[in-house]
Amino acid sequence: MTFEVFIEQVTELLKFYLPEEYAGAAITVQEVTKNNDQKLHALCIKRPEDRVVPNIYLEGFYPPVVFINCLPAPAGFPYPAESC
């Protein structure tokens, strides 16, 4: 899995794990330039009423953990659940 595919899957699947109050939230990933011109990919989850949201840098989560399939699949989850 490439990092770009990882980002796409995280942003798509995250919607299924967020609580109900985040149903209208915008999930975005943006490239952020940090110190020494280091570029990181920041995930942001912003509800319309939020003024400030944290950046979650995705590089620390890649490659994905193999135990991700052990999480219980929420209703409407687009992929079949695999047993661990």
Block means of pLDDT (10 residues each) for the chain, 84 residues, are 88 90 94 94 96 95 66 65 51
CB under 8 Å to 73, separation ≥6 — which residues?
Answer: 16, 79, 80, 81
Q: Does an H or E element contain 40, and which?
A: strand 39-46
The pTM score is 0.73
pLDDT of residue 82: 54
